[in-house]
Chains A and B, each alone.
Chain A
């Protein structure tokens, strides 16, 4: 499995598991906010950089492919 998939799976699993994690689903505050709110907010934010990994590596792959095609034509 490509490492990008593993990185993307982490926030997905963390968000789906939110309500089943006893240290998250508890009456406590993290940074002055409910722990459930901080947990879900942080992992939602993590999705964008995780998807960026795919998008940037795709850009590099697409560029490599275009370069290879140009080389083949020469």
Chain B
């Protein structure tokens, strides 16, 4: 066994142990498992949500996108901080209502506001279906890291199986608390590894960060501008806006347990004040991607750019640490994704009309089921990282009108408007993505939002013309701590 693989496996086991430490006593309560008793402070929240920002996509995919698209990759730097600006105001509103009414998931929130289990079911199905590629992305990223570092496909497959069996085990035991404890380790390790890489790799290959960019300016000036081509202004602007809106309106199901686990609105607000600083870390792998421009041949595997340079510049044991950093960037966000997806299945899909105990058991079963499915897909259908993420965002972006309107104090459109818009939006996303009918660079999620919103408005007008008005608002209902029935 190589030093790289040995360090990697030890790191994976340490992450698992930290995940188990997150909970002292077993729980059979889905609320405690999903949102940790709603008592996390600002610091824990910060690590929990920062952990979601930095995934294998940002670690490997951002370096790869900088290698292929140059500064166009920087669309990923502002979108999360821009969303945090809005969430500073919207986050406490969501937290208060969910706290008062016992919501655990995005689908709970929608089902309660629109008084419809059907909408909750549809939103939950969308959440699980579109988040599954994101979970697969984490597994694929870890496998890629081990394969590049060891040069061995078998080691890669064995590593991702071991890593994700461990993830399933600690998620089953600890839930959101396990995600929180592993986030501390992950964020610290990621920052240290990235800072070493971003200083050493440009120094090794280009004489430092400044000289490296001067070489890029001389040899590939086009990479320093957002220019015509696949990664043009339309790609940059629309990807940034679509991703910002998706995060701002909490369309990613795994955002909800992290937000709802906060102990107070103050913890929510403070978290969004200081998270943008951490987002700057996204620029670090991009610098390594630019360094790859002057080292690797055009057409090299872009997603392997960071690890290929690390392998050429560092001894095996440090490459092992880099892979552990990648593993943590895969395992910890994956754990958060699994909590988000399984709670949707347990609460809003399979266990929606059953007892709390039954919901908990369905939830635990779906932890194993969803991860197993993603693992099989990752081993049999590993795809390009960045495209998968954009597909995830495009599909989930179609939930924006429903969630945005549910943030209002009164219901201004009814169930059928939101449901019709959502269905039309999803059809357009799938058609544009798989129908081979669109070759432009504007984000398809943003395009599909237009017919989605138009349908919401038209159906709302038709409903009003028929003399039916949405009447019930959340404030009219008494506080309930069970799922919407």
In angstroms, Cα B270 to Cα A52, docked, is 9
Interface residue? B315 (CB, 8 A): no
Determine the chain A residues whose CB is within 8 A of the CB of B233 once the complex forms.
19-20, 25
In angstroms, Cα B225 to Cα A25, docked, is 5
In angstroms, Cα B81 to Cα A20, docked, is 19
Q: B59-101, CB under 8 A of A: which get 1 and which 0?
A: 0000000000001001001100110110010000000000000
Known: A27-B225, A33-B209, A36-B71. A45 touches B214 (CB 8 A): no
Indicate if the CB atoms of B78 and A40 lie closer than 8 Å: yes
Nearest chain B CB to A18 CB, angstrom units: 7
Known: A19-B226, A26-B225, A47-B84. A33 touches B280 (CB 8 A): no
Interface residue? A32 (CB, 8 A): yes
Q: How large is the interface on A (under 10, 10 to 19, 20 to 34, 35 or more residues)?
A: 20 to 34
Interface residue? B47 (CB, 8 A): no
Indicate if the CB atoms of B84 and A27 lie closer than 8 Å: no
Determine the chain A residues whose CB is within 8 A of the CB of B241 once the complex forms.
16
Determine the chain A residues whose CB is within 8 A of the CB of B81 once the complex forms.
15, 44, 47
Nearest chain A CB to B292 CB, angstrom units: 15
Indicate if the CB atoms of B217 and A29 lie closer than 8 Å: yes
Indicate if the CB atoms of A28 and B82 lie closer than 8 Å: no
Interface residue? B402 (CB, 8 A): no
Nearest chain B CB to A32 CB, angstrom units: 3
Determine the chain B residues whose CB is within 8 A of the CB of A54 once the complex forms.
88
Indicate if the CB atoms of B82 and A33 lie closer than 8 Å: no
Q: How large is the interface on B (under 10, 10 to 19, 20 to 34, 35 or more residues)?
A: 35 or more
Determine the chain B residues whose CB is within 8 A of the CB of A51 once the complex forms.
84-85, 88, 272-273, 276
In angstroms, Cα B71 to Cα A28, docked, is 12
Indicate if the CB atoms of B71 and A37 lie closer than 8 Å: yes
Determine the chain A residues whose CB is within 8 A of the CB of B240 once the complex forms.
16
Interface residue? B228 (CB, 8 A): no
Q: Which of B77, B85, B283, B290 contacts A8 (CB 8 A)?
A: B85
Determine the chain A residues whose CB is within 8 A of the CB of B74 once the complex forms.
18, 36-37, 40
B interface residues with partner A (beta carbon < 8 Å):
71, 74, 77-78, 81-82, 84-85, 88, 209-210, 213-214, 217, 221-222, 224-226, 233, 236-237, 240-241, 269-270, 272-274, 276-277, 279-280, 283, 286, 290
A interface residues with partner B (beta carbon < 8 Å):
8, 11-12, 15-16, 18-20, 25-29, 32-37, 40-41, 43-45, 47-48, 50-52, 54-55, 58
Q: Which 6 A-B pairs have the closest CB atoms?
A: A32-B210, A27-B221, A15-B78, A36-B71, A27-B224, A47-B276
